[in-house]
Structure 1
Amino acid sequence: MIPILFAMPGNEAFTLHLDRAISCEVGQMEMRRFPDGETYVRLQSQVHGRDVIFVCTLDHPDEKAMALYLAARTARELGARRVGLIAPYLAYMRQDARFKEGEGITSAHFAAFLSDFLDWLVTVDPHLHRHHKLNEIYSIPTKVVHAAAAIGDWIAEHVENPVIIGPDAESEQWASRVAKAVRCPYVVLEKTRKGDHEVEVSALDAAHWKGGTPVLVDDITSTAQTMIAAVAKLKEAGLPAPVCISVHPVFAGSAYQDLLDAGVAKVVSCNTITHPTNSVDVAEAIAIAAVELMSILPINT
Structure 2
Amino acid sequence: MPAPVVLGLGGSALAAGTLAAAIGAETVAVESRRFPDGELYLRVSQPVDQREAIIVAQVQQPDEQLIGLVFLADALRDLGARRIGLVLPYLPYMRQDARFRPGEAITSRSCGRLLSGCADWLVTVDPHLHRYASLDAVYSMRTEVVASAEAIAKWIEREVDRPLIIGPDEESEQWVARVAELAACPWRVMRKQRHGDRDVDVHADAWRPDASLRGRTPVLLDDIVYGGHTMLSAGWPRARFKRSR
Is 1:206 aligned to 2:209, yes or no?
Answer: yes
Percent of pairs with identical residues: 46
Superposed counterparts of 1:1-301, under 5 Å = 1-203=2-204, 204-207=207-210, 208-238=212-242
The 2-side partners of 1:163 and 1:28 are apart by 42
C-alpha distance in 1, partners of 2:5/2:180?
Answer: 37
2-structure distance, mates of 1:24, 1:234: 46
**Amino acid across the alignment from 1:211:** G
Structure 2 partner of 1:270: none
Residues 126 and 145, structure 2, Cα contact 8 Å, conserved in 1: yes
Q: Deviations over 1:60-80 (max 9, x none)?
A: 111111111111111111111
CA distance in 2, matches of 1:70, 1:107: 20
Deviations 1:152-204 (A, max 9, x none): 11110111221111110111111112112102121111111111122112234
Using the size of structure 1 for normalisation, the TM-score is 0.76
Query: What's the secondary structure of 1:113's corresponding residue?
Result: helix
**What TM-score results when the alignment is normalised by the length of structure 2?**
0.93
- Give CA deviations for 1:115-146 in whole Å, capped at 9, x if unaligned: 00110000111111111211110000011111
SS in 2 for 1:93: coil
Check whether the contact 1:214–1:239 (CA below 8 A) recurs between aligned residues.
no
Deviations 1:32-59 (A, max 9, x none): 2222222222212111111000111111
Higher relative contact order (CA 8 A, sep 6+): 1
Confirm or deny: 8 A CA contact 1:206 1:238 kept in the other structure. no
Q: Which moved more, 1:231-240 or 1:123-132?
A: 231-240
Structure 2: runs of 5+ lacking an equivalent: none
SS in 1 for 2:140: coil
Stretches of structure 1 that go unaligned for 5 or more consecutive residues are 241-301
Shift of 1:239: 6.8
Q: 1-side partners of 2:90 and 2:161: how far apart?
A: 29
The 8 Å contact of residues 166 and 176 in structure 2, kept in 1 or not, is answered as yes
C-alpha separation in 2, matches of 1:231 and 1:205: 15
Residues 178 and 239 (structure 1), Cα distance of their counterparts in 2 relative to 1, 3 Å cut: farther
Alpha-carbon separation, structure 2, partners of 1:238 and 1:67: 46
What letter matches 1:165 in structure 2? Answer: I
Asked if the contact 1:210/1:239 (under 8 Å) is kept, the reply is no
Higher mean C-alpha displacement, 30-39 vs 18-27 = 30-39
Structure 1 runs, 4 residues or longer, greater than 3 Å off: none
- Paired residue total: 240
